[in-house]
Structure 1
Amino acid sequence: MAPPCFADLGKSARDLFDKGFNVGLLKVESTTTSKSGEAIEFKTTATHATATKHFLGNLDVKYKIPSYGLTLTEKWNTDNVLGSVLEIKDQFARDLKVTLDTSYRPQTGKRSGKLKGEWQRDNMTVNFDMIVDAAPIVNASVVMERNGWMLGIASSLDTASSKIGNTDFAFAKDGHDYSLFSFVRNGNRFGASLYHKVAKNVEVGAHLGWTTGDNAARFGLAAKYCPSRELELKAKVNNESKLAISATHYITDKLKLILSTQFGIADLKDTGHNVGFGIEYKP
């Protein structure tokens, strides 16, 4: 089995900290599929940011042609941005996936595009992406795995100036009920995370980060507890003494309701309290 891509190293801990915390947002998301026998998926999302009062709606239509390894996704949002994503898998080479991601703003005529590639083998995953521009920026990464231990390297190149951008080195280990991850960026930024499934319905995680020359370390703790199949409770706290709590209620197997809040525990009189609400439907 191929290792995850570089961006997915430490994903278990990140999901524990990020998923289910829609603080400051009112969100409704629905995903449906066609019953006509064709592999068509419709995804609609409506998000309202309570701080900026900005509303954003998205509509994605995904069409799959498995016999040719093709997936086409058409996108539109209320900011009037049109997008198309074409994914081709196992056609140019075995285990190679090539993706072309484009967007267009009719009001300004601005176009953008990104070419992506991913090649996987039993003990290695290679990724690259390139902005389709006059002076493209190329990003590349590789993850190698042996006996459960993974080593990842990622870097970028600005072709206009021929300068190397951020360079990351990462180590990771995924076990049956735990995940370890650490990284260093440009030799001056360090970070690590831990995820552990303590029991069938209890998960805990932690992350730590610091930068050379900065005396203050960044850290956070998170936990998830599922008292029943229908209810999921999560909490996290960081070094700024901000506590976030979320509750996810599975009304059915396809429909869930998410409530979340965040406030400062160092000063309860702080007015920076935020709440979030979400509804997600996926068959």
Structure 2
Amino acid sequence: MSLPQPVPPSWKDLGKSSNDLLGKDFYLNGASIEVKTTTPTNVAFKVAGNQDAKSNLIAGDVEAKYSDKAHGVVFTQAWTTANVLRTQIEAENHLAKGLKFDLSTTLLPDSGKRTALFSSIYKQPGLHTRAFLDVFKGPTFTADTVVGRDGFLLGGEASYNVTEGKVTRYAAAVGFSAPEYAVTLHGLGNLSTFAASYYHRVSNDVEAGAKAIYDTKATTQGVSLEVGAKAFLDGAGFLKAKINNHGILALGYTQTLRPGVRASFGLALDTQKLNEVNPAGPAHKVGAHFVFEG
């Protein structure tokens, strides 16, 4: 008798362990800060700001999120310094268990430009499928599905332009996921770009991963390769490092200073241009990120 199958990851989360290891916690472009608070009435506020190291421009946004867990409804409203209004409404487990609806909109009051993306997500053991309708672009209908059994994963994605009456994009992926490691192979961009990722939890304190990308349409043929590792120094901090085949070495250090206060620092070095010692120059980058959560 086979064991009950877990819900597989969504299409966007295939290879997530490796992507998070190589992509998150590397703050390299200036200074940024996040302040998060939650009220007793389940309203969460987040204020985020970032100063770009090259332009010195400051960008930020204010976000409020209300969660009604009893009725499975989440309402999010955000306003950015670029005068962009973002609204998101989520409703889960209303028509059927495992079914979620999501409406995400943006509005630029100055130009009147707007977007609206309606999505539905259905999750069951061994199945995770999503469908999106971009109302103002096309309209375009996009659907993706991931099926899983005994750790093996198979997924596909396709976009259909309703006005033009043709498929505009398709992709496929296969993978295997276990508690200690995961392997994923993607065929993206109408199967013109191939990406392979690998993640391994070596021990409770060490993680390692790698990602390779081959673009058949690139003018310079070759495989882009990136490898990285994460080490937990203690219960409150960790260190990450990665390097790619272009010689770019990135380091990230995150430390929890006290409950609700976290600081992260990043450094990127072009190992082929170590003589360029100016950290704000094109060869090297530095950054910092601070989170205050109440």
- Is TM > 0.5 for Structure 1 vs Structure 2? yes
**Paired position in structure 1 for 2:292:** 281
Alpha-carbon distance in structure 1 between the residues aligned to 2:217 and 2:109: 46
Paired AA for residue 105 in structure 1: L
Q: Is 1:233 equivalent to 2:268 in the alignment?
A: no
Residue of 205, 211, 220 corresponding to 2:209: 205
Residue of 140, 158, 163 corresponding to 1:160: 163
SS of match in other structure, 1:14: helix
Alpha-carbon distance in structure 1 between the residues aligned to 2:223 and 2:95: 46
Residue of 12, 18, 35 corresponding to 1:13: 18
Structure 2 counterparts to residues 96-245 of structure 1, below 5 A: 96-133=99-136, 135-185=138-188, 186-212=190-216, 214=218, 215-245=221-251
Paired AA for residue 277 in structure 1: A
Alpha-carbon distance in structure 2 between the residues aligned to 1:209 and 1:135: 30
**Paired position in structure 1 for 2:3:** none
Residues 125 and 265 from structure 1, CA distance in 2 versus in 1: closer, same or farther, beyond 3 angstroms? same
Size of the aligned set, in residue pairs, is 281
**Paired position in structure 2 for 1:55:** 58
Paired AA for residue 150 in structure 2: N
Structure 2 residue ranges without an equivalent (≥5): 1-5
Q: Deviations over 1:109-149 (max 9, x none)?
A: 22221101100011101111111127311111000001111
Q: TM-score if structure 1 supplies the norm length?
A: 0.95
Paired AA for residue 157 in structure 2: A
Alpha-carbon distance in structure 1 between the residues aligned to 2:107 and 2:137: 17
**Paired position in structure 1 for 2:76:** 73
**Paired position in structure 1 for 2:38:** 33
Q: CA deviation at 1:187?
A: 3.0
Q: CA deviation at 1:213?
A: 5.7
Alpha-carbon distance in structure 1 between the residues aligned to 2:168 and 2:23: 27
Alpha-carbon distance in structure 2 between the residues aligned to 1:141 and 1:25: 36
Residue of 249, 266, 272 corresponding to 2:272: 266
Please list every run of at least 4 consecutive aligned residues from structure 1 whose deviation after the TM superposition is greater than 4 angstroms: none
Pick which of 47-56 and 199-208 moved more. Answer: 47-56
Q: CA deviation at 1:31?
A: 1.5
SS of match in other structure, 1:199: coil
Pick which of 249-258 and 6-15 moved more. Answer: 249-258
Residue of 2, 11, 14 corresponding to 2:7: 2
Q: Deviations over 1:50-109 (max 9, x none)?
A: 112221111111111223221101111111111211101111222110011111112122
**Paired position in structure 2 for 1:249:** 255
Structure 1 residue ranges without an equivalent (≥5): none
Residues 16 and 107 from structure 1, CA distance in 2 versus in 1: closer, same or farther, beyond 3 angstroms? same
SS of match in other structure, 1:7: helix
Alpha-carbon RMSD:
1.4
Q: TM-score if structure 2 supplies the norm length?
A: 0.91
Paired AA for residue 287 in structure 2: G
Q: CA deviation at 1:235?
A: 0.6
Q: CA deviation at 1:154?
A: 0.7
SS of match in other structure, 1:251: strand
